[in-house]
A and B are shown apart, each in its own frame.
Chain A
Amino acid sequence: MPVAEDELTVTFTALADPTRRAILRRLALGDATVGELAEPFALTQQAVSKHLKVLERAGLVSRLRLAQARPCHLEVDNLAPVMDWITQQHQLWEQRHDRLERHLASLEG
Chain B
Amino acid sequence: MDEFVYRRVHRATPRVLFECLTEPEHLTCFWGPAGTRTPLDRIVVDLRPGGVFETVMVSEADGSEHHMRAVYEVVVPPVRLVWREVGSGMLTEITFDERGDGTTEVVTTQRHVPEPYAHPQARAGWATSLDRYAAYVVQLGGAS
Write the residues of chain A forming the contact surface with B, with a CB cutoff of 8 angstroms. Answer: 1-5, 7-9, 12-13, 15-16, 18, 21-22, 24-25, 27-29, 74, 76-77, 79-104, 106-107
Contacts and interface: CB of A to CB of B under 8 A. Distances in A.
11 contacts: A8-B118, A9-B113, A21-B140, A21-B141, A25-B140, A29-B138, A77-B133, A89-B4, A94-B6, A99-B32, A103-B30
Nearest to A16: B2
Contact of A93 (B6, B115, B134, B138): B6
Contacts of B8: 93, 97
Interface in B91-144: 106, 108, 110, 112-115, 117-120, 122-123, 126, 128, 130, 132-138, 140-141, 144
Contact of B126 (A1, A28, A83, A89): A83
Contact of B4 (A1, A28, A90, A97): A90
